[in-house]
């Protein structure tokens, strides 16, 4: 019964987890290692070295056996005192949730909300930060619930110039690898993603870049706990280890994917995502409309506004039935009003051409 | 270079991660799923249902994308108030570390220490609990650093009778599945393990049983955070989901292993571990000595006292070089004074016969 249904699940063009190629899946099936042995240390060290090149950082890169939501919590528990306040910029379901996590960690938070699908603009953040009230700001680079890409370059420039003491935490879940990101240049303090998005690996591991000043700050914050304590990560990283037993299958797959990414070159990887996005957006504009203003539409997923009043669920089901692929309905309140197509990682432009062709067949 | 060394890593008889069979490894390489789709809900639901039978519980079973150390922290953050005190029973490196985690979570802790290799006895716990000072007690069932098995049945009986209001948290990392454990009968509140021990799956997932009264308690504790919040787990479990994106490859492997375990029957699984342990202990007593008194020696790993003064590192290296298998040196201060052999999960008695034969060849 179970194997009947799951033997041949649909190829995933939902905005994560996304399709994983068979050669990558096989990396997960390699014999496992002792996590305190030299084979693991080599795997860990080489993976982190590659990630530093991929993220353009000379600072800290940690591998966390968790989803990226664990790093939402880690950024707060490590770098924000109980008497400090966070400015959470909210533009969709996941940036909203992060604000909620700040509260759940017992910290003060002010939410700077925009309408879903609209960007958070530097001037709005500037106005809030000018009060001098905030120790840190949370930003989502690419909001997976809406496909909105925030203008993180302009925001980062403004903060670097005017508020150099405010820590900057950036959720890069559906951005990392797919969208241009040079961690050190941007002056960010914590940036992170899960591997089931543009790294094109099944879920179960998160990658976090952490600045040296975030590490210093974390030394001063009490009650950090153990599992997500950046100080523990750093101590173990010095030995090419993790503090707790890591998800070795995923790290093998990550090593494999990092090798491929560096061979392609990050500028080329970003450009490839741009081309796929242009194609999908071109189709969306012709047949429907974009949910976000094109300037702020992410290159890793597209949210299409259902201007034709189609029954989105029916179309998703019909395409899945005929072609065994899945794309996403709108998120939460945007269900049926929008739908979402992922174009990141090892998804190809040819797969996108097939997919939109199949959607065209359904909508007539 | 990396593939040269890691292509054929040693078969693992260290006390975890342990050897994983090729058919189990292949479960990790199955196409991934959307974690909010019906295929995942089926996988999750069936896995949890099987785990409830395996752990003999009608209460809550959660799948945590973390190592078991994450549940050290979860038990404290969820079930212990900031003004409450935990009695941590300490008998080795991992029980010590758990006491440390209690402190790192900002809670009060008293440590009840015994010499490494000695059990924590009910009378000693009784004496401490009789002060009325403690809200919870932490116990390790099988202490992986020493191979010591605590008398958890006698301890649990005593606590149930005399201190029914004290919450009982049990680290079952190298115990779960290998040693008899009926969660509801024992009256425990949180019991957990990682999958890289007797479940014989690569690392990257933890399994936790949580009592209903622990769930009630957790509602009253502030600052639980998000990633390890039992309330979030329960809310999602009702939909056969996890709050955050789970390690789907590991859950596929866990489903596969649970199916096999139930087919064998838990009494048989425990007896099989007992037989393997008897064999290894028999050899250890003949050639060396046991580190722990036999009554308190775990059935999942054996710590051998190096009574012959062999160079343990050299023997481990020689056996690895000739036969491509790894067993463990003593932990921490016990290095060279002891060594450790795992006999759990899919390790067979024939593999144990080979291994001790190869050790015999080296020690003459």
**Judged by CB atoms within 8 Å, which residues 144-163 of A form the interface with B?**
none
What average pLDDT does the structure give for chain A?
97
Per DSSP, A221 falls in state: -
- Amino acid B8: pLDDT: 85
| Residue closest to B169 by CA, chosen among B101, B116, B119, B237 | B101
pLDDT at B7: 76
Query: What tens digit of pLDDT does each residue of A287-313 get?
Result: 999 999 999 999 999 999 999 999 999
The C-alpha of A55 sits at a distance from chain B's nearest C-alpha, in angstroms, of 22
State whether the Cα torsion B194-B198-B203-B207 is positive or negative.
negative
pLDDT (tens digit, 9 = 90+) per residue, A34-63? Answer: 999 989 999 999 999 999 999 999 999 999
Per-residue confidence (pLDDT) for residue A6, from 0 to 100 = 72
List the single residue in A with minimal CA-CA distance to B24: A29
* Predicted local distance difference test score (pLDDT) of residue B139: 98
Question: A8 falls in which pLDDT band (50, 70, 90)?
Answer: confident
CA–CA distance, B225 with B239 (Å, rounded to integer): 21
How large is the average pLDDT for residues A210-222?
98
Give the pLDDT confidence of B269-299 residue by residue, as tens digits. 999 999 999 999 999 999 999 999 999 999 9
**Looking at residue A5, what is its pLDDT?**
58
Confirm if B205 and B77 have CB atoms less than 8 A apart. Answer: no
pLDDT at B2: 38
Residue A120 CB partners (closer than 8 Å, separation 6+): A89, A90, A91, A112, A114, A139, A150, A151, A155
Dist CA B336 CA B341 (whole Å) = 14
Mark out the alpha helices in chain B (DSSP H runs). 2-6, 22-28, 38-55, 69-79, 93-104, 122-129, 152-162, 183-186, 212-219, 230-237, 248-264, 266-287, 312-323, 349-363
- DSSP for B269-285 reads HHHHHHHHHHHHHHHHH
Q: Would you call B9 and A77 a contact, using CB atoms and an 8 Å cutoff?
A: no
Predicted confidence at residue A2, as pLDDT, reads 39
Q: What's the pLDDT at B5? A: 58
What is the least distance, in Å, from the CA of B180 to any CA of chain A? 24
Mutate to test the interface with B, among A1, A5, A9 (most CBs of B within 10 A): A9
Tally C-beta pairs within 8 A across A and B: 213
| pLDDT value of residue A97 | 98
For residues A104 and B223, is the Cβ–Cβ distance under 8 A?
Answer: yes
The low-confidence residues of chain B, meaning pLDDT below 50, are 1-4
| pLDDT (average), residues A265-277 | 98
ipTM reported for the complex, 2 dp: 0.97
Burial (CB count within 10 angstroms: exposed 0-12, middle 13-18, buried 19+), residue B295: exposed
Q: Can you give the pLDDT at residue A7?
A: 76
Is the pLDDT at A121 greater than 80? The verdict is yes
């Amino acid at each position: 019964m179970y194997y009947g249904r799951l033997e041949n699940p649909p190829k995933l063009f939902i905005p994560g987890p996304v399709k994983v190629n068979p050669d990558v899946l096989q990396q997960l099936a390699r014999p496992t290692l002792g996590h305190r042995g030299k084979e693991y240390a080599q795997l860990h060290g080489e993976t982190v070295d590659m990630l530093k090149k991929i993220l353009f950082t000379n600072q800290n890169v940690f591998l966390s056996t968790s989803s990226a939501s664990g790093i939402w919590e880690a950024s707060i528990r490590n770098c924000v005192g109980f008497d400090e306040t966070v400015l959470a910029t909210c533009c969709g379901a996941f940036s909203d949730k992060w604000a909620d996590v700040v509260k759940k960690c017992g910290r003060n938070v002010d939410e700077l909300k925009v309408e879903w699908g609209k960007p958070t603009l530097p001037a709005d953040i500037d106005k809030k930060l000018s009060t001098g009230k905030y120790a840190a700001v949370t930003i989502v680079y690419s909001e997976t619930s809406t496909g909105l890409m925030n203008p993180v370059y302009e925001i980062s420039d403004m903060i670097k110039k005017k508020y150099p003491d405010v820590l900057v935490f950036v959720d890069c879940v559906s951005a990392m690898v797919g969208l241009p990101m040079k961690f050190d240049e941007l002056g960010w303090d914590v940036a992170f993603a899960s591997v089931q998005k543009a790294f094109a690996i099944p879920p179960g591991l998160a990658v976090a870049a952490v600045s040296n000043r975030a590490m210093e700050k974390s030394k001063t914050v009490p009650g950090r706990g153990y599992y997500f304590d950046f100080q523990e990560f750093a101590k173990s990283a010095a030995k090419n280890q993790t503090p707790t037993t890591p998800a070795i299958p995923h790290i093998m797959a990550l090593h494999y994917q990092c090798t491929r990414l560096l061979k392609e070159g990050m500028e080329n990887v970003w450009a490839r995502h741009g081309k796929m996005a242009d194609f999908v957006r071109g189709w969306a504009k012709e047949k429907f409309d974009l949910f976000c203003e094109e300037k702020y539409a992410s290159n890793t997923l597209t949210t299409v506004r259902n201007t034709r009043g189609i029954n989105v669920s029916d179309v998703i089901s019909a395409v899945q039935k005929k072609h065994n692929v899945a794309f996403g309905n709108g998120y939460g309140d945007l269900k049926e009003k929008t739908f979402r197509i992922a174009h990141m990682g090892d998804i190809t432009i040819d797969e996108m051409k097939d997919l939109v062709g199949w959607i065209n067949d359904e909508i007539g």
